[in-house]
Amino acid sequence: MKLIYSTIAFYALTMSPAFASADLAKKNACMSCHAVDRKLVGPSYQDVAKKYAGQKDAVANLANSIKAGGAGKWGPVPMPAQSALSEVDAKTLAAWILAGAK
């Protein structure tokens, strides 16, 4: 029984954050409007990462944009607010996007 718990704990602690974040994006329907490498309804994650590259507090700023939504940053289609998303999940998604959504 200890072996089973140890194995589960090992995989939980070593699961790739990128994999977890991709799942988080899918779970929250982010992929309905965004793709990693091409524009859909909204900008690609690669384009978002380029826009925020080198900015101070990029993760916090992008997480805020995810939660609050907005208009005019990427064209005429507004980003709907994702207010049900937790602060932690918004920052996790933002960090994943800024790291190239890999």
> What are the residue ranges spanned by the domains of the chain?
17-98
CA-to-CA separations, 25 to 9, 11, 17, 51, 90, in angstroms, rounded: 24, 21, 12, 19, 10
pLDDT in the model for residue 9: 40
CA angle 55, 56, 61 (to 5 degrees): 85
pTM reported for the whole predicted model: 0.79
41-100 pLDDT, tens per residue? 999 999 999 999 999 999 999 999 999 999 998 999 999 999 999 999 999 999 999 999
Considering only CA atoms, give the Rg of the chain. 15
Local confidence band at 19 (pLDDT 50, 70, 90 cut-offs): low
- Candidates 1.10.443.10, 1.10.760.10, 1.10.1040.10, 3.40.50.2020; CATH matching 17-98: 1.10.760.10
pLDDT in the model for residue 20: 72
